[in-house]
Structure 1
C-alpha cells in the first residue's frame, strides 16, 4: 500500500481549495448531489424541477441524484482579493507533490481494488467537492494571473480525485486507460507511439519523449495534449532544450570533471511546451542554466541521447 504521497499532496491541495473558496463570490443556487448507484423509487427521469426535493435518475450511469440548494459561484461579481496567500505557494511544489501523488495513485489503481482506492482517496481528500472555486475569467479580471495558473494546475488534479472518489466503473475506466498506456510503451524503441501536438511532433522529439516516458521522467496524461513530469522544473526545461533546441554540454575547463550547459541554435517553443506540461517559466528555467552547471540528474538526458545515437548507428 502506498499513501505517503496522498498525505503530502492533500495538505497543499486542500489548503488551496480552502483559499480559493474564501475569495470566491457566492450566491444561492442548486447543484446535483449523487445519492446512490441504481434507481431510487422517489426519483423520476421527469422530476427535474430545481428545488431541494427534486430527484433525477441518470439511466446512462445508473445513478440517482438530488437537486439541492447550496452556494454556487457568482460569476457576475468581481473578486475582492487583497493578500497573496495562494500565489505564495510555489507552483513547482504543487506540481512536484502532485506528480508524486499521481504516480502512487496509478500504482494503487493497478494493484488494488476499487473499494480500497475509493476509501483511501476519500480519507485523504474529505469533502473535496464542497469547496466553491472562482472562474479563470474572474481571476484574470482581478489581475490574479498567477492564481489563475495555479487554479489550472489544481483543476487538473481535482478531475482525477473526483473521479476516484466516485468509485465503481469510473475507477475501472481509469485503470483501463493506465493499462493501455503501460502496454503502449512496453514495446522497446517503438517511438511512433508517442503523440505530440502540432509543430512539437517531430521524429527527434518522439524519440526523446519515448525514452523519458520509459525512464519515468515524464508521463502521458492525455495523448497528444497533456504530460506530467516527475523531476525538477530545471531538469524538464533542459530536457526540452536538448530535444527542440539541440542544447548540449561541454567540459568545464576550469573545473575538470564538471560540465557546462550550452545553448543550441534552434528556437525554444516554450509557449507550446508550457501548455503541454501545464507549467510556467520554462524559458526562464532553461536560461538560468545556460553557461552554468546542468541541473541535477542531467546525466539521465545524456543517456537518452547516447541510446538514440546507438540505435541510429545500428540501423
Structure 2
C-alpha cells in the first residue's frame, strides 16, 4: 500500500517518527539509561498489578490509583534487598527521586526503613527530598516527610526553603500551620517566547523535571494551549519520549490538568501516539490510571489507537487493546474488510495538508 502510491497516512506516521527522532537528539545515552531504569522499576514493582487489574473503561470503572498498584512497604523492602549491593547507591537515589516526584509513600518508607537513604539527603542542586516533594505537589510524601522529621529549614542552591517551593494549595495544607500563609503567591507572569522555548527544551530531559516544575508553577503557561513549533503540547512530547517520561506524563495530567484527549497538529491524542510508537505500558497507564478514552479517534482520519497499533504491527499494544475490556474493535474490523485505503476518505486530503 505504501510503495508506488504513498499513502498519506504513511506521511503522518513518518512525520511523527521524525519528530521523535529529532527530539531525542538532546542526549541519547542519558535517555536510554532513564528508559531502562523506568522500565525496570515498573516491571519489578507495579506493572504486574496493572496488567492483572479488573479495570474496565466501557463499564465506567473509576481510574486506577497508581499508589494502589504497589506492594506493601515490607514487600518493597524485600525487593530492594535483592537489588541492593555495594554499587547500588546511585540506583537507590534514583528510586528515592522517583518516590518524591510522583511515587508512592510506601517506596520512600522502605528506603528510609532500610537506611538506604537519609531523610534529609540533598541532591547536587541542593534540593532535599522535601524540596522536591513540595515542588512536585506530592502531598502524601510531603506529609510523610514532615511527620518523620524532615527539615523545613534546609536551603537549596538558590537559598530557598522547601515551603518556598510549595505552590500547590492542596500540598501546602500538609505543612505546619506556621507555613500556611507565609508564601505570598504573586500573579504569574505571561511566559515569553524564550521562556516557552525553554519549557519545551526542559521537557526533553527527564533529569530537568524539577526545573520544569518551577517554570510551570511560576509562569503563565497553558499546558492545553501552548504548543511547540511542530504543534505538540507538552503531554504529546512527553509521550513521544517513552518510559523515561512516565513520571512527567502523570504529573502533567494529575497535577497540571493537561487534557489527556488533546490532539496535536496531526490530530493525534497522546494515546494514539503511544499506540503508534508501541509504548504498551504508557498506553495502559493513559487508559487505566489517567482515564484516556481508548476509542477517541484521530481528528484527521478517524483512526483509533487500535488502528495505529495495528498499522505499525505493534503486537503487544494491539493485543492488549483488542482483548482487554477497553475499546471497541469494530471500526478496525470494518476497515480491514473495506480496505484501509478507503477508511474515511474525506479526511485523506486534510492529512496531506497537515
Greater percentage in strand? 1
Please tell me whether Structure 1 or Structure 2 has the larger radius of gyration of its CA atoms.
Answer: 1
Greater percentage in helix? 2
Higher relative contact order structure (alpha carbons within 8 Å, sequence separation ≥ 6) = 2
Same fold (TM over 0.5): no
